[in-house]
């Protein structure tokens, strides 16, 4: 939900501008969709890392939005 919320706040132009960063964020999230099961021992660390990455992307996206005219 956090990913959808932060990417949903972007305009099409902002999405294009941040496309490299969106791809990096998707790469961070990908293991949660395929390589892990929710009984894996690393789930808490994975979730923490994902939330950190999402928050960093949100800060970048907010900075871009605040600097557009």
DSSP string, 9-38: T--HHHHHHTHHHHHHHHHHHTHHHHT--T
CA R_g for the chain: 13
Q: Rounded to an integer, what is the distance from CA 18 to the centroid of its chain?
A: 11
With 80 as the cut, is the pLDDT of residue 49 above it?
yes
pLDDT number for residue 43: 83
| C-alpha span between 14 and 5 (Å, rounded) | 14
Q: Give mean pLDDT, residues 39-45.
A: 79
pLDDT number for residue 44: 87
| C-alpha span between 66 and 58 (Å, rounded) | 12
pLDDT number for residue 57: 97
């Amino acid at each position: 939900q956090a990913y959808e919320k932060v990417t949903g706040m972007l305009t099409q132009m902002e999405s294009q501008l941040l496309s490299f960063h969106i791809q990096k964020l998707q790469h961070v999230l990908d293991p949660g969709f395929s390589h892990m099961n929710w009984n894996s021992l690393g789930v808490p660390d994975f979730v923490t890392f994902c939330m950190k990455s999402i928050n960093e992307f949100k800060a970048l996206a907010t900075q871009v939005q605040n600097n557009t005219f």
